[in-house]
């Protein structure tokens, strides 16, 4: 198994997505969003770049995005199967579902 990638999750509002960025500034993956009203973000799609597959980037990305959504006092609608599956496996995020 490959070494776990260390990433920072940051919002990129210009591209309407949260990005997982590695220590050298490379975008390892992203999860797209769009607003539905004032307090719901819809997550339709998540991508992990091939070079980072199997290194925990997707989970780190979704966890970081959900934490930031919670800090903003918003909720989510998980259309993306990866985001939906993550929330299903991590009950501490179930309260964020709209």
pLDDT tens column, 5-57: 899 999 999 999 999 999 999 999 999 999 999 999 999 999 999 999 999 99
CATH number, domain containing residue 52:
3.40.630.30
> Which pLDDT score, from 0 to 100, does residue 3 have?
85
> Which pLDDT score, from 0 to 100, does residue 2 have?
67
**Residue 1 pLDDT more than 70?**
no
pTM over 0.85: yes
Give the total number of structural domains in the chain: 1
Assign 89 a pLDDT band (cuts: 50, 70, 90).
Answer: very high
Assign 75 a pLDDT band (cuts: 50, 70, 90).
Answer: very high
Read off the tokens for 85: 């599956």
CA distances from 36 to 43, 47, 55, 78 (A): 10, 21, 31, 12
In a domain, 81, yes or no: yes
State the residue range of the domain holding 11: 7-93
In a domain, 42, yes or no: yes
Read off the tokens for 12: 């990129």
């Amino acid at each position: 198994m490959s070494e776990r990638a260390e990433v920072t999750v940051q919002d990129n509002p210009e591209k309407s997505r949260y990005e997982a960025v590695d220590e050298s500034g490379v975008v390892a993956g992203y999860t797209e969003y769009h607003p539905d009203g004032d307090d719901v973000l819809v997550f339709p799609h998540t991508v992990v770049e091939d070079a980072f597959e199997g290194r925990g980037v997707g989970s780190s990305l979704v966890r970081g995005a959900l934490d930031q959504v919670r800090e903003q006092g918003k909720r989510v609608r998980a259309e993306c199967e990866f985001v939906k599956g993550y929330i299903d496996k991590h009950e501490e995020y179930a309260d964020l579902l709209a």
